[in-house]
Amino acid sequence: MGNTVFIPAATVAEQIKPALGRIQGHITAGSLKRPRIHSGQKGPARNIGAEWEVPLVHVRTGLPAWGTNGTIIGGVAEEAWRSTDPVSLQMELGSNLVEANFRPRPLELGTFTGMRAEMEGILGLLNRSCGHHGLAVVSTGILPTLATGKLNEGNFSAKPRYAVLTNALEQYLGARIRSGTIECGGEELPIGWCVATEIANTSIQFHEEVA
């Protein structure tokens, strides 16, 4: 893989802990009230949830594990059902991507500590399911082993909504989306006529419930 840096799955939880720790340190019950006051929102604290998108890779090569997210999610669902521990996973746009949805909880002191524990539990379930198929989870913004030529509709997850979204964008934007490019590390990446470039983007997002 040349100079590609591959992040072992075993280090994922340790990478995430400091970020959540910093968030926990900066957020207090008092500071969370101020944005609501300024925006005219009053009343009790809302709930907060999160979604976490992670790529699946082949352990031996570090390359994206295309077409595997349904299998891995199925394995997690079976284990979670046996343990009666609810977990919400779904297939993301790329067929090598899994999205985990965290349980909503009150936004207060200790919230992010609980979310970190939930994240570690989800990671454990994913890793166990991946282990049966020679796969691993890598938590990173853009997977270093992802080739631009793989960002195409052929690597979409098997969910109708992604094809519908692509068709809708093509009809709405027409030639404007077909002629666009993105510069990435000195290389121009064609946007093309679909949303396939979104396959390269993974993140963890925190969402606060608002009125």
CA dihedral 15, 19, 20, 26 (to 10 degrees): 160
Element (H, E) at 44: none
How far apart CA 192 and CA 175 sit, in angstroms, is 10
Does residue 171 surpass a pLDDT of 90? no
Does residue 5 surpass a pLDDT of 50? no
Does residue 190 surpass a pLDDT of 60? no
Looking at residue 94, what is its pLDDT?
A: 94
> C-alpha distances in angstroms, 50 versus 114, 121, 137?
12, 14, 18
Residue-range domains of the chain with CATH: 9-143+200-208 (3.30.70.1130), 148-197 (no CATH)
How far apart CA 65 and CA 59 sit, in angstroms, is 9
The more confidently predicted of residues 208 and 33 is: 208
Amino acid in position 39: S
Looking at residue 182, what is its pLDDT?
A: 57
Long-range CB contacts for residues 123-130, cutoff 8 Å, separation at least 24: 123/12, 123/13, 125/76, 125/79, 125/80, 125/87, 126/54, 126/72, 126/76, 126/89, 126/98, 126/100, 127/9, 128/75, 128/76, 128/79, 129/72, 129/73, 129/75, 129/76, 129/79, 130/9, 130/56, 130/72
Looking at residue 152, what is its pLDDT?
A: 85
pLDDT in tens, 75-126: 998 887 776 667 889 999 999 999 999 999 998 889 999 999 999 999 999 9
User: With b meaning 16 or more CB within 10 Å and e meaning fewer, what string describes 5-42?
Assistant: ebbebeebbeebeeebeeebeebeeeebeeebeeeeee
pLDDT in tens, 16-73: 555 555 555 555 444 444 444 444 445 566 899 999 999 999 999 999 999 999 999 9
Looking at residue 100, what is its pLDDT?
A: 94
Looking at residue 108, what is its pLDDT?
A: 87
What pTM was computed for the model? Answer: 0.70
